[in-house]
Amino acid sequence: MVEAVIAGVQEGCRDFQVDARLIGILSRTFGEAACQEELAALLAHREGITALDLAGDELGFPGTLFRNHFNQARDAGWHITVHAGEAAGPESIWQAIRELGAERIGHGVKAVEDPALDGLPGRAPHRD
């Protein structure tokens, strides 16, 4: 599946002369073991992936459970993005930054609850 997606994106980039990058997403809701299987499939095609993301239930499956996964992603040379600060609050954003190495925070709507997250020169990840 991963190989087919990468091939399709590469073909589209060639055909339409655009640049696109792929972010692999681990769904934390399925647990650590399932995420490790997903990660193994992505790592088998590491050259076609730019970053790794963690999405899903941050209350039931905090980022700390996935430290090993993100260590592997960084070892592969990937950028790190984490969906955090939606249900669990700003502490989950800090956890994503400190424990998973997040460079980008998906959504992060609860960041407004911690003024320290609005700054951190040179360290604050992008929020979307």
- Per DSSP, the chain holds a count of helices (H) and strands (E) of 4, 5
Cβ 67 vs Cβ 99: under 8 Å: yes
Kindly name the residue from 3, 11, 32, 86 that is annotated as catalytic: 86
The side-by-side arrangement of strands in the sheet containing 126-127 is 23-27, 51-55, 79-84, 104-107, 126-127
86 is catalytic: yes
Cβ 80 vs Cβ 104: under 8 Å: yes
Residues assigned a catalytic role: 86
